[in-house]
Structure 1
């Protein structure tokens, strides 16, 4: 099944299976987490974080003048504060401004959900809490999560509170829908022709007002990240391992399969450099300024493959930026006298074949549901159309989808974001992207 689907999408989007960034140079990752846009503050004269966000923007610009524009911008959850549509819309505009300023593109954004991206009023309902409690009280929570994911009503209860987040994440093809699409993926091309594979996990699917440390989970799909020749896995999740019930076990597993691991939530920067991995936990871009150890920050990470004495190595250079006060500004968090945290990790031998075609991630389960594997400019064009389509009103999106006959009867049972995702993918499959783009353009002008 997977192999056939990969062939289907490679024919539709071109021969390249991965985005052509980083060839001949390091891939540059801009990592932000815990932005916490609050509806009660954003766009008002009482917003206490306007200055801080502006300083982040200015510092990113200065750093990217030295390092180059980011190839991917990872936002590791807690984009919003209360999961409201207004908060996510503000985030989109802010990210667009940041991309324009630093030379990146909004198409490069890659996101995963955090606990503040959950609508608590929905997650705290009695029926939802019954599902959560059944998982938490189980002697085998992983098996119970899988069991609940197989039940249509239960999985809807677990994910309904993330609908606003998923509408936002659809712009970047990072939206999630259980049971088959509970993690987001994207492939980038490293400098030696190998693949950097991003995995965005969901640690917030049973998040609610009752969250406590050590009592959240990843679903079984997160334990199905596998190693492949010529592929380096990068895992990003919102909650630090200390917040996961199976955090120790999951940490051991990630050490085997993912040389790069990125977390957020704890609002304090931590860097763990092991022989097999770099584990990077971000400061919050917008923390609560009254919390202990208030430390706004963000990270830039350079990733490249080097060869030394016939051995391939992954070279990571982390530029950790943290806020200092009096005088205020972002400064480098130093490591043994250096502004850069540098680490090398041994890789298995691999040589690029004459014609590179690395398989896309295993999460693609059928041609109507999974996103096409990243296909260079073709995938960027599809993301660009998705971004424009996202900004239209619900009524305009629905009218276009109906007029172009891109909706099927089965779509009516799906959340809004999933229906519109299928519209985009169906337009690609039916060679209607130009027609859809023209309709979107007309709606934008109208």
Structure 2
């Protein structure tokens, strides 16, 4: 039956590395398709050891996950003999610990490998009967209504072991549980309400070889409606399912796609063992899909994972793609074939997206002029004629420590800020230093970095020499507008 759990949405903390609240963004660790088995563990353990190291390194680089999503195929084979204890000991517990997460912050859905294949083989009349009977929207909705009200154990035996196992994950956030989905709600520390619906696309799968399930699976319209209604008041809505939508039967594929695109901001799935983020903008809404690569299949194939950062202030979804680099590296690195490892998608209509694109283009055109100014600044203070003649060759990063407005350092005294970390820090940043300490040079370095960046939110680098400006009201705003107008003119001349 539709099990509604009366819970107050739980709080998940969005943190910096020192535990302080940060901006209104949700960072998701998306894993999929590990196919855990004791037989494959000797090779698979290399990937897990590398993943643990990489997650710790990414946390230091400001990619600390708030939650984890595992979009199916946790095990190589489901059923009563699933090696649950070994999976938790060797995979889940150390991986989540490295990510700074617990079982309560892990959201999972079933995949075709998580079902009991022997149950399906022993119950072929049930399988054949369901495929024959559920051949239209009306029949599928009628069946869904019955199962949402009073589930029949006769239809769900293939997922009995998985269904018992899933109860321990994200338990404090679960608000609804049905044979077709589990629905969760929580609020981040930055007061962003998040809803997650983990859908079951494996309930009719056989798990047999040859891709025989393609075009036969079903996800009832009624089940998606029910989950979406529960999450109406959430600012960020995430749908999770294992199979791509083209694995659904023809008559329900369009309905499922329309409802998911209309009601969810992010869709996470797996099964294909390859990674491909995609933004879809249609007449009924827009969303971003994360097709996850397999965390592990075999050594010779793509093995990877990604982070997904949804920023409600900047209205962006940013992906960071990581993949296993086999011998001789034996570590995770950037998936360079996917936008050099990082993809940024901007919310909004086509006009808003065009504005963002124009801003990026203007910055690219302006960068050579900015480089010229930076080179002049550096060379004017350099007396050696044989020295390098460009800013990048001459610039030596200076150690920059950070202090809050009350004079306390938010970091350990031995840690220093990079230019990237200064740009990413929210709010106004003020740089203090002695004369000739390199403050202007640092400003040029920041401006050049911003000018070539496509990371959201897109910023415009503007350098104003206040000693050369006339005092008055709104002087900074006035000078910024002058700089921006000249930049647009240069861009127009370059284009036409």
TM-score range, shorter chain: 0.5 to 0.7
Query: Comparing 194-203 with 338-347, which one deviates more in the overlay?
Result: 338-347
Distance in 2 between residues matched to 1:121 and 1:266, nearest whole Å: 23
Structure 1 position 322 matched with structure 2 position 323: yes
Q: Which residue pairs with 2:274 in the alignment?
A: 268
The correspondence of residues 82-101 of structure 1 with structure 2, limited to 5 A, is 82-84=77-79, 85-93=81-89, 94-101=91-98
Q: Which of the residues 339, 345, 367 maps onto 2:347?
A: 345
Q: Which residue pairs with 2:290 in the alignment?
A: 280
Alpha-carbon deviation of 1:230?
A: 4.8
Answer yes or no: is the 8 Å Cα contact 2:206–2:213 preserved in 1.
Answer: no
Deviation track 1:164-208 (CA, whole Å, cap 9, x = no partner) reads: 1122211115699x9945311222324652311111110011111
Distance in 2 between residues matched to 1:183 and 1:170, nearest whole Å: 12
1:48 is paired with a residue whose SS is helix
Structure 1 position 48 matched with structure 2 position 43: yes
Larger CA Rg, structure 1 vs 2: 2
Decide whether aligned partners of structure 1 residues 145 and 64 sit closer, same or farther in structure 2, where only a CA change above 3 A counts: farther
The correspondence of residues 326-337 of structure 1 with structure 2, limited to 5 A, is 326-328=327-329, 329-334=331-336
2:152 is paired with a residue whose SS is helix
Distance in 1 between residues matched to 2:302 and 2:111, nearest whole Å: 19
Q: Which residue pairs with 1:251 in the alignment?
A: 257
Structure 2: state its 5+ residue gaps: 15-20, 350-496
Answer yes or no: is the 8 Å Cα contact 2:305–2:322 preserved in 1.
Answer: yes
Answer yes or no: is the 8 Å Cα contact 1:81–1:117 preserved in 2.
Answer: yes
Q: Which of the residues 196, 201, 204 maps onto 1:203?
A: 201
Deviation track 1:59-106 (CA, whole Å, cap 9, x = no partner) reads: 222212222542111111111111144423322222111122232222
Structure 1 position 113 matched with structure 2 position 105: no
Answer yes or no: is the 8 Å Cα contact 2:177–2:183 preserved in 1.
Answer: no
Decide whether aligned partners of structure 1 residues 169 and 180 sit closer, same or farther in structure 2, where only a CA change above 3 A counts: closer
Alpha-carbon deviation of 1:143?
A: 2.9
Answer yes or no: is the 8 Å Cα contact 2:11–2:188 preserved in 1.
Answer: no
Alpha-carbon deviation of 1:49?
A: 1.7
The correspondence of residues 226-241 of structure 1 with structure 2, limited to 5 A, is 226=229, 228-241=232-245
Q: Which residue pairs with 1:29 in the alignment?
A: 28
Alpha-carbon deviation of 1:39?
A: 4.2
Report the TM-score when normalising by structure 1. 0.64
Q: Which residue pairs with 1:436 in the alignment?
A: none
Q: Which residue pairs with 1:78 in the alignment?
A: 73
Alpha-carbon deviation of 1:136?
A: 5.0
Structure 1: state its 5+ residue gaps: 11-16, 307-312, 348-446
The correspondence of residues 4-23 of structure 1 with structure 2, limited to 5 A, is 6=6, 9-10=7-8, 17-22=9-14
Alpha-carbon deviation of 1:228?
A: 2.8
The correspondence of residues 121-132 of structure 1 with structure 2, limited to 5 A, is 121-124=118-121, 125-132=123-130
Distance in 2 between residues matched to 1:274 and 1:139, nearest whole Å: 25
Relative contact order higher in (CA < 8 Å, ≥ 6 apart): 1
1:265 is paired with a residue whose SS is coil
Distance in 2 between residues matched to 1:208 and 1:335, nearest whole Å: 33
Query: Comparing 324-333 with 33-42, which one deviates more in the overlay?
Result: 324-333
Distance in 1 between residues matched to 2:320 and 2:40, nearest whole Å: 30
Distance in 2 between residues matched to 1:159 and 1:315, nearest whole Å: 39
Q: Which residue pairs with 1:185 in the alignment?
A: 183
Alpha-carbon deviation of 1:30?
A: 0.8
Alpha-carbon deviation of 1:271?
A: 1.1
Alpha-carbon deviation of 1:128?
A: 2.7
Distance in 2 between residues matched to 1:141 and 1:207, nearest whole Å: 19
Q: Which of the residues 144, 147, 172 maps onto 1:146?
A: 144
Distance in 2 between residues matched to 1:5 and 1:100, nearest whole Å: 28
Answer yes or no: is the 8 Å Cα contact 1:123–1:158 preserved in 2.
Answer: no
Q: Which residue pairs with 1:442 in the alignment?
A: none
Distance in 2 between residues matched to 1:70 and 1:257, nearest whole Å: 24
Distance in 2 between residues matched to 1:139 and 1:249, nearest whole Å: 9
Q: Which residue pairs with 1:385 in the alignment?
A: none
